[in-house]
Chain A
Amino acid sequence: MTTLRLPSGVDGTRTLTTDDARRWLRTRLFNSPANTVISLVLLAVLGWASWRFFSWLVLSANFDVVRANRRLLLVGRFPLGEEWRIWPVLYGFGVAVMWSWGAWGRVTRNALIAFAVFGILVLPIMAGASGTLQLAPAAVLAALAYFAARASSRSAGGRTRAQLVAGGLWFLLLPSSLVLLLIDGGVDPGLWGGVYLNVIVSSGAVIGALPFGILLALGRTSSFRALRVGSTVYIELMRGLPLPVMLTLAWLALRHFLPGWGGLENVDLVYRVTIAFALFTAAFIAEALRGGLNAIPRGQREAASALGLSGTQSLVLIVLPQAVRNSLPALAGEFIGLFMMSTMVAVVGLTDMLQAARATTEQPEFFGRQKEVLLFVGLVFWMTAFGLSRLSSQLERALSGAGSRRA
């Protein structure tokens, strides 16, 4: 007998009986002849698909391709002995995500289940036990960060401080990961690869795209005609252009537009691709911010100028912080999308995680193992996107709660 929590119980819990199960099935699956037919068909399809999937998983799937190529998938052809440039970023990323989560919300049950299934079941099966154990310290540190942020944000003041710390973590993380790549001789950008390249390209693009996007959004809502027209044309041009075309432009033709200071026009492809991503994403960030800017009441600016703030001061101190806060969910969506679209670098021949995965099945012993390795790649991106989107929805809820308290 399992006890499950049922909403109808007086004390909140009671024993689940077969009658309950029957009622559950009747109201949800078999409440009309049409629904009965639909349910039976769907059950048959679902059963067939699960049988096919699990028989493949148990009988013919072989995840050796992931285990043997773990390094290639994670960092590509990154030189041996240079990993110290990478581990701090991985640890920092986990800590920043979980600290932010603790500072703004809490891990919901569904997210916890997803994380647990991924970390305890999926990773060990696919990447092997030793590969999972390598990630264990990072996971423990991230969990500790989460509980520390939860504990320190019991009081309202502590919460604000924790949120500031979270902001600082994110602000430090992106530049420091780039600095780590470049100090002490650095590593040739041509050797950056794997999922690490996805992280580097997308975070580098965020750093460039955010300020540029803010400028574009301000330009588009500006009262100066030239700025308005210029920003609008730029934004609409980028929004109408397919990303692969933009990436190919960076590959083959960006040098025509870069000024020739100190060999800037022949800068490495990774940087050019990052610039292209930044130029492209800035237009979408501007659009996301424009919504936030338009939502700010006129009275805010009027009150600022009544207090004697100059136009620039009221923009930087009053308008922009609120606009960024209003459009944080949309911005988070853009950043998640940017991370996923960074797999498009395949178009210009960089070896990101997806391209590395395609390369593994050209090794003779792993010929025909595309399903296994691509499933793994897909799951890694899926879990990252899922976690970040849950984080952003917690953020959204926390921010809307703050707004309603003040009102």
Chain B
Amino acid sequence: MNWLRDERVRRALLEAVTIGIVAALTIYIAARAQAAGGLDLAFMQDRAGFGVGDQVLTDVSGRDSRWMAYLAGLMNTLRITVFGIALSMVVGFGVGIARLSSNWLAAKLAFGYVEFVRNMPLPVFVVFCYTAVVLRLPRIQESADILGLAYFSNRSVALPWLSFSDGAMAWGALVLAGILGAWAAHRVLAAREEDTGRPSYPTRAALGILVVAVVGGYVVTGMPATWNLPEVGRFQYTGGLQMSPEFFGLLLALSLFNAAFVAEIVRGAIASVPRGEREAAAALGLSPWQQLRLVVLPQALRVMLPPLATQAQNLAKMSSIAIVVAFPDLMNVGGTIINNSGEAIPVFILMTVTYFVLNLAIAVIFVGPQWRFSWSRGRRA
């Protein structure tokens, strides 16, 4: 039995044992999942048998398949995620910069906001925003309004929005071309400025091209977009961008909650830029705004993008709390499908995969720009 004392043999044996244990656990879980339905998704083609409320881009009814209901839920999750990320970034950047402000009141208020939110459970925040704020808004006939542009009531919330007519696609194409043109012009002129040392005004040129594309395109394509202002009807609003109280309450809570975390990320990233960078920029004669825009923010942005991506993923995951306010998101619809089909495991595997893909997409969208930053830094160096 001398071979048992050989370190390599013992190691190989232990390796085999651990592989065996992990494999056995995996097989056990897989076998149990297989016995409970596994990946058999045939039932998803049956009639859903329930309606999905709060649909905007989709129009799925109970007569459509479960796949269509699932899709409608996914669209709602995407809607709350996209709006939520956008709003939390805007508020979070504002609060994060305010925390570093030289204005005592702004810094303290921002600090208080962050401390308040970070010690508060999200579900309490969501329930408060929905039942104590949105549902306590006035009735629709007595809507609260902001300058007659946006209306708030316990039945619905309506914001000004654009309404598009026939030429909108052409206008969109022109705007896209303008953005590409502006980007190309900026690159060419900036490179020339760097090579020759003569001022070539890349920013002004790019902005000019953009304005011409947007305004010129708007006129040429026959003014395809007009402001669509909401109006108060007897029982509902007409026109504008309308949101259900569930959507609005959830959006409010998720974005205000996440904004506090975004603010901490922004503050940390800006504070991570060494003081000397700013002082050097000031010594070169840059104005405070230029210091921030040209020196501090580009460096801070590189630091903050990965944690911001994580935070955005968190928001996407947290949006599944929608069930608490009965907003029909992916998870809510998935739960209903489980209840009316009895197929728990397949739906769970489906939901897990869906959330994974969503998280992956967010990572690519956020960390995509970071590649550009590291790349452009490498080019300049």
Determine if A256 and B18 form an interchain contact, defined as CB atoms under 8 angstroms apart. Answer: no
Q: Flag whether B147 is at the interface (Cβ < 8 A).
A: no
Q: Flag whether A368 is at the interface (Cβ < 8 A).
A: yes
CA A339 to CA B211, docked complex, whole Å:
52
Min Cβ gap A42→B in Å is 5
Min Cβ gap B232→A in Å is 23
Determine if B127 and A248 form an interchain contact, defined as CB atoms under 8 angstroms apart. Answer: no
Chain A residue numbers with a CB within 8 Å of B212 are none
Q: Flag whether A227 is at the interface (Cβ < 8 A).
A: yes
Most buried by B among A46, A248, A346, A361: A248
Chain B residue numbers with a CB within 8 Å of A354 are 121, 123-124, 127
Q: Which of B59-67, B218-226, B315-323 contacts the other chain?
A: B315-323
Q: Flag whether B294 is at the interface (Cβ < 8 A).
A: no
Q: Flag whether A144 is at the interface (Cβ < 8 A).
A: no
Min Cβ gap B112→A in Å is 10
| A242 partner, pick from B23, B123, B324, B331, beta carbons under 8 A | B331
Q: Taking CB as reference atom, which chain B residue is nearest A344?
A: B123
| A244 partner, pick from B116, B121, B135, B320, beta carbons under 8 A | B320
Determine if B104 and A245 form an interchain contact, defined as CB atoms under 8 angstroms apart. Answer: no
CA A243 to CA B19, docked complex, whole Å:
29
Chain A residue numbers with a CB within 8 Å of B101 are 38
Q: Taking CB as reference atom, which chain B residue is nearest A40?
A: B105
Q: Which of A115-123, A162-170, A296-304, A376-384 contacts the other chain?
A: A376-384
Min Cβ gap B335→A in Å is 6
Min Cβ gap B70→A in Å is 14
A35 and B348 contact, Cβ closer than 8 Å, known pairs A226-B19, A241-B355: no
CA A314 to CA B23, docked complex, whole Å:
28
A343 and B124 contact, Cβ closer than 8 Å, known pairs A244-B321, A252-B338: yes
Determine if B344 and A368 form an interchain contact, defined as CB atoms under 8 angstroms apart. Answer: no
Q: Flag whether B287 is at the interface (Cβ < 8 A).
A: no
Chain A residue numbers with a CB within 8 Å of B320 are 242-245
Determine if B324 and A224 form an interchain contact, defined as CB atoms under 8 angstroms apart. Answer: no
Question: Restricting to B335-380, which residues have a CB under 8 Å from any CB of A?
Answer: 335, 338, 344-345, 348, 351-352, 355-356, 359
Chain B residue numbers with a CB within 8 Å of A346 are 123, 127, 324
Determine if A253 and B355 form an interchain contact, defined as CB atoms under 8 angstroms apart. Answer: no
Min Cβ gap B5→A in Å is 15
Q: Using an 8 Å CB-CB cutoff, how does the interface string of B215-254 with A read, 1 for contact, 0 for none?
A: 0000000000000000000000000000000000000000
Determine if A256 and B109 form an interchain contact, defined as CB atoms under 8 angstroms apart. Answer: no
Determine if B104 and A29 form an interchain contact, defined as CB atoms under 8 angstroms apart. Answer: yes
Q: Flag whether B14 is at the interface (Cβ < 8 A).
A: yes
Determine if A256 and B33 form an interchain contact, defined as CB atoms under 8 angstroms apart. Answer: yes
CA A378 to CA B127, docked complex, whole Å:
10
Determine if A38 and B103 form an interchain contact, defined as CB atoms under 8 angstroms apart. Answer: yes
CA A389 to CA B115, docked complex, whole Å:
11
Chain A residue numbers with a CB within 8 Å of B136 are 368, 370-371
Q: Which of B24-32, B155-163, B301-309 contacts the other chain?
A: B24-32
Q: Flag whether B82 is at the interface (Cβ < 8 A).
A: no
Determine if B105 and A245 form an interchain contact, defined as CB atoms under 8 angstroms apart. Answer: no
Chain B residue numbers with a CB within 8 Å of A244 are 320-321, 323, 331
CA A148 to CA B334, docked complex, whole Å:
54
Determine if B103 and A29 form an interchain contact, defined as CB atoms under 8 angstroms apart. Answer: yes
Q: Taking CB as reference atom, which chain B residue is nearest A253?
A: B344
Determine if B123 and A229 form an interchain contact, defined as CB atoms under 8 angstroms apart. Answer: no
Q: Flag whether A39 is at the interface (Cβ < 8 A).
A: yes
Q: Taking CB as reference atom, which chain A residue is nearest B318?
A: A242
Interface size on B, residues (CB 8 A): 55
CA A382 to CA B33, docked complex, whole Å:
40
Q: Using an 8 Å CB-CB cutoff, how does the interface string of B81-107 with A read, 1 for contact, 0 for none?
A: 000000000000000000001111110
Chain B residue numbers with a CB within 8 Å of A245 are 320, 331, 334, 348, 351-352, 355
| A382 partner, pick from B36, B120, B131, beta carbons under 8 A | B120
CA A38 to CA B102, docked complex, whole Å:
11
Q: Flag whether A225 is at the interface (Cβ < 8 A).
A: yes
Q: Flag whether B284 is at the interface (Cβ < 8 A).
A: no
CA A145 to CA B318, docked complex, whole Å:
39
Determine if A257 and B29 form an interchain contact, defined as CB atoms under 8 angstroms apart. Answer: yes
| B355 partner, pick from A240, A340, A358, beta carbons under 8 A | A240
A358 and B127 contact, Cβ closer than 8 Å, known pairs A240-B355, A244-B331, A371-B132: yes
Determine if B18 and A344 form an interchain contact, defined as CB atoms under 8 angstroms apart. Answer: no
Determine if A229 and B22 form an interchain contact, defined as CB atoms under 8 angstroms apart. Answer: yes
Q: Flag whether B189 is at the interface (Cβ < 8 A).
A: no
Chain B residue numbers with a CB within 8 Å of A38 are 101, 103, 105-106
Question: Restricting to B120-154, which residues have a CB under 8 Å from any CB of A?
Answer: 120-125, 127-128, 131-132, 135-136
Min Cβ gap A128→B in Å is 21
Chain A residue numbers with a CB within 8 Å of B106 are 38-39, 42
Q: Flag whether B119 is at the interface (Cβ < 8 A).
A: yes
Determine if A224 and B18 form an interchain contact, defined as CB atoms under 8 angstroms apart. Answer: yes
Q: Using an 8 Å CB-CB cutoff, how does the interface string of A222-254 with B read, 1 for contact, 0 for none?
A: 001111011000000100111111001100110
Min Cβ gap B101→A in Å is 8
CA A371 to CA B119, docked complex, whole Å:
18
Min Cβ gap B332→A in Å is 9
| B36 partner, pick from A240, A253, A340, beta carbons under 8 A | A253
| B127 partner, pick from A29, A42, A374, beta carbons under 8 A | A374
Determine if B345 and A241 form an interchain contact, defined as CB atoms under 8 angstroms apart. Answer: no
Chain A residue numbers with a CB within 8 Å of B23 are 226
Q: Taking CB as reference atom, which chain B residue is nearest A25?
A: B104
Determine if A257 and B324 form an interchain contact, defined as CB atoms under 8 angstroms apart. Answer: no
Determine if B338 and A389 form an interchain contact, defined as CB atoms under 8 angstroms apart. Answer: no
Determine if A386 and B119 form an interchain contact, defined as CB atoms under 8 angstroms apart. Answer: yes
Determine if A256 and B323 form an interchain contact, defined as CB atoms under 8 angstroms apart. Answer: no
Determine if B331 and A35 form an interchain contact, defined as CB atoms under 8 angstroms apart. Answer: no
Chain B residue numbers with a CB within 8 Å of A378 are 120-121, 124-125, 128
Determine if A343 and B352 form an interchain contact, defined as CB atoms under 8 angstroms apart. Answer: no
Q: Flag whether A28 is at the interface (Cβ < 8 A).
A: yes
Determine if B105 and A340 form an interchain contact, defined as CB atoms under 8 angstroms apart. Answer: no
Chain B residue numbers with a CB within 8 Å of A240 are 317, 352, 355-356, 359
**Besides the contacts A42-B105, A344-B321, what 8 more A-B pairs have beta carbons closer than 8 Å?**
A42-B109, A241-B355, A249-B344, A252-B338, A340-B121, A343-B123, A347-B324, A386-B115
Report the 9 A-B pairs with minimum CB-CB distance, sorted nearest first: A28-B104, A340-B121, A253-B344, A242-B317, A385-B119, A230-B22, A226-B19, A370-B132, A242-B320
User: A residues near B, CB below 8 A?
Assistant: 28-29, 31, 35, 38-39, 42-43, 46, 224-227, 229-230, 237, 240-245, 248-249, 252-253, 256-257, 340-341, 343-344, 346-347, 354, 357-358, 361, 368, 370-371, 374-375, 377-378, 381-382, 385-386, 389
User: B residues near A, CB below 8 A?
Assistant: 14-15, 18-19, 21-23, 25-26, 29, 32-33, 35-36, 101-106, 109, 115-116, 119-125, 127-128, 131-132, 135-136, 317-321, 323-324, 331, 334-335, 338, 344-345, 348, 351-352, 355-356, 359
